[in-house]
Chains A and B, each alone.
Chain A
Amino acid sequence: MTQTEFLNIVLPFKDKVFRLAKRLLVSREEAEDATQEVLLKLWNNKLKIAEYKNLEAFSMTMTKNYCFDKLKSKQAQNLKIVHSNYEEKHTPLQKQVEFNDSVSWVAKIIAELPEQQKMIIQLRDIEDYDFDEISKMLDMSNTAVRVALSRARKTIREKLTNTHNYGVR
C-alpha cells in the first residue's frame, strides 16, 4: 500500500479522530500527538487494514484507548498542578463576544461531564454517528449509550437554562 492510498483511506475520519482526542485531552497539542500516534499505528499495520471490517470504528476505539492511557499516566505522574492543557487561542468566533461567551460556556459544561458522556456527546451530536456505531466504538450496549446520552443532554440543558435565566457564570 502506498502513502497516497493510505491517506485516502484515512482522510475521511482523521478529523474525527482528532476531535475526539481533543474532547478528551482538551489541549490541541496533545490531541495532535494522539492523532498522529493513532495514524502511525494504522500505517505500521497497513497490511492488516483490509482485514478490519470497520476501520473508522476501529480507529475511534484506538483513539479512545490511547487518550485514556494518556489521561491515566498523567494522573499517575501527578501533573495536575502543572496543567499541561493549554487554552485554545484560535477560536474562529471572536466577532461576537456574547455569542462566543455562551458557546464557550457549552464547551465548559461538556468538559465537566464524565469522560464517557463526553465521548458520547462528541460522537453523537458532533460527529453524527448512529447508536450501533457508537456502541461498537465504546464497547457498550446500545441502551447504555442511549441512557448516557440522555443524561448528558439533560445536564447540558439544565446548566444552560440556569445560565440563561440568571446569567450566572
Chain B
Amino acid sequence: MVLDNIEKLLEKYENGETSLKEEQQLKHYFTQGTVAPHLEMYKPMFEYFLVNKQERFTKDVPLKTKRNFNYKWISVAAVAVLMLGFYFGTSIYGSDLGTYEDPQLAFNEFSKSMEMISEKFNTGASTVSYLNEVNKGTSTLGYLNEIENATSIIFKN
C-alpha cells in the first residue's frame, strides 16, 4: 500500500536515513494532490522546499577583465620611432654638405679648420692649468703622515 510505504519512508526520513531517491518519492507524494489527513502537517514543509528551489539569483555580477597591458609593444614602438629618426635624420643632414672640386682649395680649407680647432683647444687647456695648484696643495699635506707615524708608535707600545 502506498500510504504504508510513505509512513515508513517518513520515519526513515526523520532519522536521516533516506536516500535522495526516496526523498524524491516523499516530495512527490506531498506536493501532488491529496495527502492522508494524519500526514497533512508535512505538506507545507515539502511545499516550502519545492517553492524555495525556484528562487533565482537575478543580480548581475560585474566581471571586470583586467587588460594586462603588454609591455613588448612599447619596445616595438620605440624601435620603430628610432628607425624613423635615423631614416629622416640622415636624409636631412647627410645629403647637402657640399664638396670641393679643387684638391688645393680643399687642403687649405682643411688646414684652416684644423688650425682653428687647435687654437680653441689650447685656450681651453690653459684655463685648466690651475689644477696643478691642487697637486701642490696635496704634496704639502704630506706632513699628515708624520702624525700617523707618531700614533702608530703610541699604539704599538
Give CA–CA (A92, B55) in the complex, Å.
10
B64, closest chain A residue (CB):
A43
Min CB gap B16→A, angstroms: 4
Contact between A127 and B55 (Cβ–Cβ < 8 Å)?
Answer: no
Contact between B14 and A154 (Cβ–Cβ < 8 Å)?
Answer: yes
Contact between A36 and B61 (Cβ–Cβ < 8 Å)?
Answer: yes
Contact between B16 and A150 (Cβ–Cβ < 8 Å)?
Answer: yes
A126 within 8 A of B: yes
Contact of B16 among A40, A153, A156 (CB under 8 A): A153
Secondary structure of the A side of the interface?
Answer: helix
B46, closest chain A residue (CB):
A125
Could you mark each residue 60-83 of chain A with 1 if its beta carbon is under 8 Å from any beta carbon of chain B, else 0?
A: 000000000000000000000000
Secondary structure of the B side of the interface?
Answer: helix
B63 within 8 A of A: yes
B7 within 8 A of A: no
Chain A residues positioned under 8 Å from B20 (CB to CB): 128, 130
Chain A residues positioned under 8 Å from B52 (CB to CB): 19, 126
Contact between A35 and B57 (Cβ–Cβ < 8 Å)?
Answer: yes
Contact between A153 and B14 (Cβ–Cβ < 8 Å)?
Answer: yes
Known contacts A106-B45, A125-B49: A164-B40 contact under CB 8 Å: yes
Chain A residues positioned under 8 Å from B43 (CB to CB): 102
Min CB gap A146→B, angstroms: 4
Contact between B59 and A126 (Cβ–Cβ < 8 Å)?
Answer: no
Chain A residues positioned under 8 Å from B61 (CB to CB): 35-36, 39-40, 43
Known contacts A6-B63, A157-B14: A32-B44 contact under CB 8 Å: no
User: How many pairs of residues, A versus B, come closer than 8 Å at their CB atoms?
Assistant: 82
Contact between B42 and A160 (Cβ–Cβ < 8 Å)?
Answer: yes
Contact between B63 and A103 (Cβ–Cβ < 8 Å)?
Answer: no
Min CB gap A128→B, angstroms: 6
B interface size (C-beta, 8 A): 29
Chain B residues positioned under 8 Å from A17 (CB to CB): 57
Contact of B41 among A43, A127, A164 (CB under 8 A): A164
A3 within 8 A of B: yes
Contact between A157 and B42 (Cβ–Cβ < 8 Å)?
Answer: yes
Contact of A18 among B55, B63, B65 (CB under 8 A): B55
B15 within 8 A of A: yes
Give CA–CA (A13, B118) in the complex, Å.
86
Contact between A106 and B54 (Cβ–Cβ < 8 Å)?
Answer: no
A14 within 8 A of B: yes
A105 within 8 A of B: yes
Chain A residues positioned under 8 Å from B109 (CB to CB): none
B43, closest chain A residue (CB):
A102
Contact between B49 and A126 (Cβ–Cβ < 8 Å)?
Answer: yes
A9 within 8 A of B: no
A141 within 8 A of B: no
Could you mark each residue 92-111 of chain B with 1 if its beta carbon is under 8 Å from any beta carbon of chain A, else 0?
A: 00000000000000000000
Most buried by B among A106, A110, A160: A106
Min CB gap B60→A, angstroms: 9
B29 within 8 A of A: no
Min CB gap A158→B, angstroms: 10
